[in-house]
Every structure is written in structure tokens, then in C-alpha cells.
Amino acid sequence: MRIFGVGAIKGLIVTLKYLLRPTFTTQYPEEKLNTSPRFRGNNFVWYEERCTGCSTCAKACPLGIIRIVTHPEPHQQVGSDYQIDVFDIDTGRCMFCALCVEACPYDALHMGGDFERADYVREDLVITTDQLREGAKKPQTQFRPQLEEIGYQGDEELDEHEAGRWSL
């Protein structure tokens, strides 16, 4: 025998139970969500010693925002690195797809994990070569299975010998 209105009252009881449960909200400036080690953040980690200036990352980028300017040494040998003058990444237009990170053959470019890089001036969103040279070297493990094998969680700094699949 079905009483009129029982379905609606069941809905009310569900809501009443939620009134007594703790909330799911993270109060942002005081608490922050933990991101996973593979999270694609807003900055990049670049090891200059590993980079040869081959520009594969620039070719792989769908938007063409990586700008690389190199010059050869006076007596450049075949197969050695170029000297890098400019290595800029325009994060104002970047979509953080990590195709550049996937493309790098020397494991020199990695994704960073920062997500709080908002700025007031659009030109300041371009990550210049100096910022990349001096930034904290905490790569994410996106496309870098060797870092996951050693159990790296993204909290300490890695130097250029540990960050790649083969040493320099």
C-alpha cells in the first residue's frame, strides 16, 4: 500500500543526512589540494647541461610558443651541442599538453608542478631563459617513467644526472 508523498520524504531524509556530514570542500588559501606527481603544472624544468638545442620540442608544440635561438661554436664538431642563446616558453598561450616533454630526446625539458603563477602583466607570463636556468629543479614525472621507477614524488630537487634515462 503506497502512501502519498513517501518518495518526496525519502529525498528529504537524504538531504538531512548530508546536513550532518562533514563537507567535501577544501578552503583554498589555507588548505591546498595535493597534486599527483604526474600533474602538468604551469612551469617547466630545464636542464641546460642536457639540452643540445635540437628544437624537437619547438617542432612538436601545436602552438609554436617555444622560441629557441642557438649559435654554433667556432669549431663545431659533428654531433656536439649548440650554444643556446634564447630558450623562451610563452606560458600565456601554452595549453600544457606536454607534447614538448614527450618529444625531447635528451630528457632536458620536464613539466613543473606549480599552479599558482598568476600575474598582472601578460608579458611577464613568458618564462625567459634566465628563469628557466635558475628555477627550482623539481620535475614532474610526466612522460618520465625512469623517475617513477626510483620512486620520485616531486618534492626534492634533482640534478641533471638523475633526471634522465641515460647519464651525460
Is the Cβ–Cβ distance between 126 and 150 less than 8 Å? Answer: no
Q: Per CB under 8 A, does 75 bind another protein?
A: no
Q: Which three cell numbers stand for residue 27?
A: 578552503
Using CB under 8 A as the criterion, what x/- string covers residues 19-58 for binding another protein?
Answer: x-x-xxx-x-------xxxxxx---------------x--
Q: How far is the CB of 60 from another protein (least distance, A)?
A: 7
Decide if residue 6 touches another protein (CB under 8 A): yes
Least spacing, CB of residue 39 vs another protein, in Å: 5
Please state the closest distance from residue 75 (CB atom) to another protein, in A.
Answer: 31
Helix (H) or strand (E) holding 16: helix 6-19
Nearer to another protein, 51 or 129 (CB): 51
Q: Among 9-17, 44-52, 83-91, 160-168, which window interacts with another protein (CB under 8 A)? A: 9-17
Residue with cell 601545436: 62
Residues 132-151 touching another protein, rule: CB under 8 A, are: 140, 142-143, 145, 148
Tell me the CB-side half-sphere exposure of residue 75, using CA atoms within 13 A: 0
Query: CA 123 to CA 66: how far, in whole Å?
Result: 15
Report H helices in 20-164: 56-60, 99-103, 129-134, 145-149
Category of 5 on φ-ψ map: left (φ > 0), alpha (ψ -120 to 50) or beta: left
- Which residues of this protein are in contact with another protein, per CB under 8 A? 1-8, 10-16, 18-19, 21, 23-25, 27, 35-40, 56, 60, 62, 95-99, 102-103, 111, 140, 142-143, 145, 148
